[in-house]
Amino acid sequence: MVSSATAQVSGESIFIEGKCVRCHTIGKGRFVGPDLLGVGERYSRDDLIRWAKDPESLYSERKKKPINEGYPPMPPMNLSESDAQKVTDYLLEYTPPPGLSESGTIMGQVRNITTRKPQEGQDVVLVSYMGDRKEERHFAKSDSLGGFSFSSLRWDRSYEIMLFHQGVQYVSGKMVFLPGKDEITLDLPVYETTSSDENISLLSLNVIIYPDDEGAKVNVTSLHAFENSGDTVFTGEQTESDTTTLVFPIPEKAVDVTFSESVNPEAVVRKEEKLYSRLPFLPGMKRIALGYSLPLSQIGEKFSIGFDYEVGDLAVFVRKTELGIRVKQPGAAAEEIMIHNEAFLKYVLSDVKPGSIVAVVSNTSFLRSSLSRYLPVALFFVFAAVGIMYFLYGKNRFSSMDSEK
Ligand code: HEC
């Protein structure tokens, strides 16, 4: 029965990863959707496959939506035929393990990574959700071993753990009780905070300079990979009236600024020619994208893209267009490469001190447009000159030939 066992495993993982668990329990009661224990007594295997793939076809066949009173309609899950078959067979074969308790428990330990000790007396909040709606909050305090536990939890909810340590918020992400499980165990790491940026480095910076086809503006995108290599949370430096963490220069003329940190608008401040993040920076990596457009007014114009950190690997990509743009600083040789059928100049440097990338809008388009304007006139003169010379020379030659005869 090896094959059936493997089908069971992958059916279960589809049930979990295919997001069915967000809305269904098996044998634990109603959730967003009906309990699916014994669902094979209500539907044929084929109809269950249709539920898993595309409930709309059942709705239109039965001319009823929703089919079960008191529930919303089920959204299409777009599973492949074979995944839908596997998850259906999993539902048909499922039997609840013996000895499962009536309610669930979420427990774990709060560990302070900086002090390498369990965090005692830490307030831990458990938020329960019904679908996307927040339902209830449960509170606990960690014991001398950092341990916390929430019991008597309903199956038909999803849960999230949240805590504040030294003013920094930690959130677990949503959890549900998986089929056949009545416990969730998780460890919550917390860190001490620091205002010093000594462990912060910019590992790589990729800058894409992309002039539009009209040559009216360039779009600049900077992709930063930062690392906090310490075991503390960088919570920032005090500037005038604010506490800020990472800083990003933006040119004065920049318009249409987009910043990946501004998902939460309160997390970002713009002051003069700089953007500041207020978000705490936990140990590990952090990727930040910054984009803006610079209007261009003239040929020969210079613009600079600043960076306030030393950069491990710097790469600048400039799209090749009529409006030739060249990077002047920091000095590196350009290599021509193709990305998605577009030509780019690529400049690569390593261990670059804080500074800026200075680019110059060069004259190629100007040369080309002036050439096209003056070329006919120039050609006319060239032809005229050749014609006159030919006429004079030819006349001489013929006359001398005449004289030879
Ligand atoms: C966003 C929530 C949601 C997700 C995700 C979801 N379902 Fe449903 N499901 C529902 C709701 C709500 C119903 C009841 C709809 C109705 O009666 O028309 C339902 C009904 C069903 C039924 C019929 C139950 C009955 O007793 O009539 C089956 C079978 C089913 N779902 C299987 C699945 C499978 C398999 C997955 C994962 C691939 C899945 N569902 C994912 C919400 C969901």
**CA–centroid distance, residue 35 to ligand 1 (Å):** 9
The model's confidence at residue 3, banded by pLDDT at 50, 70 and 90, is very low
Which whole number is the average pLDDT over 328-356?
A: 91
Measuring from atom 24 of ligand 1, which residue has the nearest CA?
34
pLDDT computed for residue 69 by the predictor: 92
The model's confidence at residue 365, banded by pLDDT at 50, 70 and 90, is low
Provide the residue ranges of all domains of the chain, joining segments of one domain with +: 2-93, 104-190, 200-362, 373-405
% of residues, the chain, pLDDT over 90: 59
Helix then strand count (H, E) for the chain reads 5, 25
pLDDT computed for residue 189 by the predictor: 96
pLDDT digits (tens, 9 = 90+) for 290-326: 999 999 877 778 889 999 999 999 999 999 988 888 8
Q: How far is CA 403 from CA 56, 395, 397, in A?
A: 101, 12, 10
Is the pLDDT reported for residue 368 higher than 80?
no
The model's confidence at residue 378, banded by pLDDT at 50, 70 and 90, is low
Q: Are 184 and 106 spatial neighbours (Cβ–Cβ below 8 Å)?
A: yes
Which whole number is the average pLDDT over 64-83?
A: 92
Q: Is 18 helix (H, G, I), strand (E, B) or coil?
A: coil
The ligand 1 atom at the shortest distance from the C-alpha of residue 14 is 38
pLDDT computed for residue 84 by the predictor: 94
**CA–centroid distance, residue 13 to ligand 1 (Å):** 16
The ligand 1 atom at the shortest distance from the C-alpha of residue 77 is 38
Extract the runs of DSSP E, i.e. beta strands, from 154-263. 158-165, 168-171, 183-190, 192-194, 200-211, 217-228, 232-234, 237-239, 242-244, 247-249, 255-259
Measuring from atom 41 of ligand 1, which residue has the nearest CA?
20
Most confident of 19-23, 73-77, 269-273: 73-77
Most confident of 2-6, 237-241, 371-375, 379-383: 237-241
**CA–centroid distance, residue 59 to ligand 1 (Å):** 12
**CA–centroid distance, residue 37 to ligand 1 (Å):** 12
Number of neighbours of residue 110 by Cβ within 10 angstroms: 26
pLDDT digits (tens, 9 = 90+) for 113-147: 999 999 999 999 999 998 789 999 999 999 999 99
The model's confidence at residue 178, banded by pLDDT at 50, 70 and 90, is confident
Residues in the chain: 405
**CA–centroid distance, residue 159 to ligand 1 (Å):** 20
**CA–centroid distance, residue 161 to ligand 1 (Å):** 26
pLDDT computed for residue 400 by the predictor: 41
Measuring from atom 28 of ligand 1, which residue has the nearest CA?
51
The model's confidence at residue 370, banded by pLDDT at 50, 70 and 90, is low
Contacts of 257-266 spanning 24+ positions with Cβ under 8 A: 257/290, 257/291, 257/292, 258/289, 258/290, 258/291, 258/292, 259/288, 259/289, 259/290, 259/291, 260/287, 260/288, 260/289, 260/290, 261/288
The model's confidence at residue 6, banded by pLDDT at 50, 70 and 90, is very low
Is the pLDDT reported for residue 108 higher than 50?
yes
Measuring from atom 37 of ligand 1, which residue has the nearest CA?
20
Q: Pick 174 or 366 by higher pLDDT.
A: 174
Assess if CATH 1.10.760.10 describes domain 2-93: yes
pLDDT digits (tens, 9 = 90+) for 275-286: 999 999 999 999
Question: What's the burial of 218, exposed, middle or buried (CB within 10 Å: 0-12/13-18/19+)?
Answer: buried
Q: What is the DSSP letter of 311?
A: E
Residue of 49, 37, 44, 52 lying closest to 94 (CA atoms): 37
200-362 CATH fold:
Immunoglobulin-like (2.60.40)
Q: Which residues of 147-180 are buried (b: 16+ CB within 10 A; e: fewer)?
A: ebebeebbbbbbbebebebeebebebeebbbebe
The ligand 1 atom at the shortest distance from the C-alpha of residue 83 is 38
The model's confidence at residue 401, banded by pLDDT at 50, 70 and 90, is very low
Which whole number is the average pLDDT over 37-61?
A: 93
pLDDT computed for residue 199 by the predictor: 94
Residue of 357, 345, 347 lying closest to 319 (CA atoms): 345
Which whole number is the average pLDDT over 71-77?
A: 93
- Tell me, yes or no, if the pTM score tops 0.75: no
Is the pLDDT reported for residue 230 higher than 60?
yes
Judge whether 2-93 and 104-190 match in fold.
no
The CATH H-level (homologous superfamily) assignment of domain 104-190 is: Immunoglobulins (2.60.40.10)
Q: Are 189 and 228 spatial neighbours (Cβ–Cβ below 8 Å)?
A: no
Measuring from atom 12 of ligand 1, which residue has the nearest CA?
33
The ligand 1 atom at the shortest distance from the C-alpha of residue 91 is 35
Which whole number is the average pLDDT over 260-289?
A: 89
Q: Is 38 left (phi over 0), alpha (psi -120 to 50) or beta?
A: left
Residue by residue, DSSP assigns 59-71 as HHHHT-SSSSTTS
| Pair type for strands 168-171 and 158-165 | antiparallel
For ligand 1, residues with CB inside 6 Å are 18-20, 22-24, 32-34, 36, 39, 42, 48, 51-52, 66-68, 71-75, 77, 79, 87
The ligand 1 atom at the shortest distance from the C-alpha of residue 65 is 18
